[in-house]
């Protein structure tokens, strides 16, 4: 989308091309999805204990991802670091960094351990947000987006992994609970950022994200001891 807009393709045409590519990807993927019959769960169990903590931390992490997706471009435009046509480059680099970190996540966790991945991942994410907010040069801001992607990439996979092996709740219910709470961060989070930006400013809303994501390293020991 950013590339097409940068070379002058009209917005409607750009959106149509993007939607068409997404539809093709869905059509190609659907026949390859697993068909799994899940046992009937007639009782709803509210998440509690470590499962609730895992869900909240995953929701915070997804909130950061959603903020970069929905507000990252507007942030760099507002700070006059780029033109509207190329404002999506930051999200492209964020996504690329996250893909690379996720694909190598198994090796990273094996080398450092879950505890240090959570601690360092949270710190790197905070540094990335701060870099974007304090940057005076476009290139520096782009480095910030890369740091956010690298730092946050392997946090949620660890939360899901811990949910699968904890003993407070059945693994299937625990993972479902963590997933539900986590994705609520994607759905509700960007709206919350917009509300906070309206009350204060968009940069201040992003500074609040650093306080939220700081919960990850601070609770890392409690998460990984399970």
CATH code of residue 199? 1.20.1250.20
Residues 6+ away with beta carbon under 8 Å from 87: 2, 73, 74, 76, 77
Structure tokens at 130: 């701060």
Summarize the confidence of residues 80-107 as an average pLDDT.
88
Asked if residue 53 and residue 33 are part of one domain, the reply reads: no
Q: Quick check: is 122 in a domain?
A: yes
pLDDT at 37 exceeding the cut of 80: no
pLDDT at 44 exceeding the cut of 70: no
Residues 6+ away with beta carbon under 8 Å from 16: none
Asked if residue 128 and residue 104 are part of one domain, the reply reads: yes
Tens digits of residue pLDDT in 206-226: 999 999 999 999 999 998 887
pLDDT at 39 exceeding the cut of 70: no
Contact indicator for 221, 126 with CB cutoff of 8 Å: no
Between CA 66 and CA 189 the distance in angstroms is: 7
Between CA 95 and CA 91 the distance in angstroms is: 6
Domain that holds residue 174: 48-224
Summarize the confidence of residues 145-162 as an average pLDDT.
94
Q: Is the dihedral of CA 31, 96, 193, 124 positive or negative?
A: positive
According to the model, what pLDDT value does residue 53 have? 92
Higher-pLDDT residue of 159, 89: 159
Highest-scoring range by mean pLDDT, 124-133, 165-174, 179-188, 195-204? 124-133
> What average pLDDT is seen over the chain?
88
DSSP label at residue 105? H
Structure tokens at 140: 């520096």
Structure tokens at 56: 């909240």
Structure tokens at 23: 């539809």
Asked if residue 57 and residue 18 are part of one domain, the reply reads: no
Asked if residue 180 and residue 105 are part of one domain, the reply reads: yes
Q: Quick check: is 199 in a domain?
A: yes
Q: Quick check: is 42 in a domain?
A: no
Q: Quick check: is 43 in a domain?
A: no
Between CA 118 and CA 212 the distance in angstroms is: 14
According to the model, what pLDDT value does residue 220 have? 92
Summarize the confidence of residues 138-146 as an average pLDDT.
92
Q: What is the CA radius of gyration of the chain?
A: 19
Q: Quick check: is 27 in a domain?
A: yes
pLDDT over 70 for what percent of the chain?
A: 96
Between CA 143 and CA 76 the distance in angstroms is: 13
Asked if residue 31 and residue 135 are part of one domain, the reply reads: no
pLDDT at 130 exceeding the cut of 60: yes
Asked if residue 52 and residue 23 are part of one domain, the reply reads: no
pLDDT at 42 exceeding the cut of 70: no
Say what the pTM is: 0.81
Asked if residue 5 and residue 62 are part of one domain, the reply reads: no
Asked if residue 174 and residue 77 are part of one domain, the reply reads: yes
Summarize the confidence of residues 178-190 as an average pLDDT.
85
Asked if residue 117 and residue 31 are part of one domain, the reply reads: no
DSSP label at residue 39? P
Asked if residue 33 and residue 57 are part of one domain, the reply reads: no
pLDDT at 17 exceeding the cut of 60: yes
Query: Band of the pLDDT at 173, cuts 50, 70, 90?
Result: confident
pLDDT at 46 exceeding the cut of 90: no
Asked if residue 80 and residue 57 are part of one domain, the reply reads: yes
Domain count, the chain: 2
DSSP label at residue 200? S
Asked if residue 119 and residue 71 are part of one domain, the reply reads: yes
């Amino acid at each position: 989308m950013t590339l097409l807009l940068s070379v002058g393709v009209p917005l409607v045409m750009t959106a149509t091309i993007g939607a068409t590519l997404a539809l093709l990807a869905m059509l190609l993927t659907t026949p390859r999805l697993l068909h799994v019959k899940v046992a009937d769960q007639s009782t709803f169990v509210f998440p509690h204990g470590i499962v609730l903590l895992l869900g909240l931390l995953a929701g915070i992490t997804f909130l950061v991802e959603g903020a970069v997706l929905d507000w990252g471009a507007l942030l760099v435009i507002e700070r006059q670091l780029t033109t509207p046509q190329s404002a999506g480059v930051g999200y492209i680099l964020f996504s690329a960094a996250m893909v690379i970190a996720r694909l190598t996540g198994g090796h990273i966790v094996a080398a450092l351990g879950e505890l240090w991945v959570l601690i360092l991942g949270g710190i790197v994410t905070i540094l990335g947000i701060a870099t974007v907010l304090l940057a005076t040069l476009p290139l520096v801001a782009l480095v910030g987006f890369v740091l956010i992607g690298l730092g946050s990439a392997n946090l949620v996979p660890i939360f899901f992994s811990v949910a699968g092996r904890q003993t407070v709740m059945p693994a299937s219910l625990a993972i479902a609970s963590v997933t539900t709470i986590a994705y609520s961060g994607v759905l509700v989070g960007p709206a919350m950022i917009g509300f906070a930006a309206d009350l204060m400013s968009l940069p201040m809303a992003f500074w609040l994200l650093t306080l939220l994501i700081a919960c990850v390293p601070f609770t890392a020991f409690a998460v990984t001891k399970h």
